[in-house]
Every structure is written in C-alpha cells, then in structure tokens.
Amino acid sequence: MIESAEEFIRLRFSDDPEEYRRASAESASLEVWTEVVEQYPEARFWVAHNKTVPLEILRVLATDPDPRVRYVVATKRKLTPEILTDLATDPDESVRLTVANHKRVPRSVLEQLQSDDWSKVRDVARDRLEGGH
C-alpha cells in the first residue's frame, strides 16, 4: 500500500520499473490520493491511471482542467452513471467518445450523445442504441 503522497510521487517518477508498477497498481488511502491531487497537479494524470483509485477521487478528476486526465477517468470501468453523465458533456471530443463507448454508459446518456457536436460521437451513440444497449 502507498502510504503517502510523497511515496506515490517517488514511485511514479522512479526509473525502477517495479516502483513505477507499484504506482499504477497499489492502493492508497483516500487521504493520500486527496493529498496527491491537491499538492501535485502534475501527477493527476498518473493518479487517474492507478487501478485502485477510489470513485471519490475519480469524481474530482472528472472535472480536472487537463482533458488528458478526464479522458483517463472516462476509460475507467467502475464509473458510476452520474460520473458518466457528467463526462458526456465534456468539452473534449475524445472524452465524450470514450463515454459513448463505455460499457456501463446509461441509455439516457447515449440518447443525449445522439445530438453531440461531433459526428463520430453521434454515430457511436446511435449504433449502440440500435444494437440494443
């Protein structure tokens, strides 16, 4: 388990592949994740990549100013319908496309995405709805 924000940063930016792996796979407390997000904005992308990051942190990262962070959040399987609904209106096309393709996206969100600005998002939403999502 990752015990501090400083440990996460050290592991993530280490040259040792084993330490790098730990940063992407090991859990940490909600307090540690919160501290990383608040004190190390440059590491938010890597927090989002962590396989164990809790929903509370994903909710925060879903509104991150960096579209790359929001994109990684949108790829997470464990997202709630509420987070997916919020991400469906993201200004970044890649985030909305990822939501349209998400396995757990609610039907109501797919219906909403049928009128997206980007034709690719509209097409994916329509195809998924027609496929009996």
Q: Which residues contact 108 (CB under 8 A, 6 or more apart)?
A: 85
Tally of CB atoms within 10 A around 117: 9
pLDDT of 132 over the 80 cut? no
pLDDT of 133 over the 90 cut? no
pLDDT, the chain, mean: 97
pTM of the entire predicted model: 0.94
- How does pLDDT run across 73-103, given as a tens digit for each residue? 999 999 999 999 999 999 999 999 999 999 9
Describe the crossing of helices 17-25 and 5-12 by its angle, rounded to 10 degrees: 130
User: Residue range 116-132: average pLDDT?
Assistant: 94
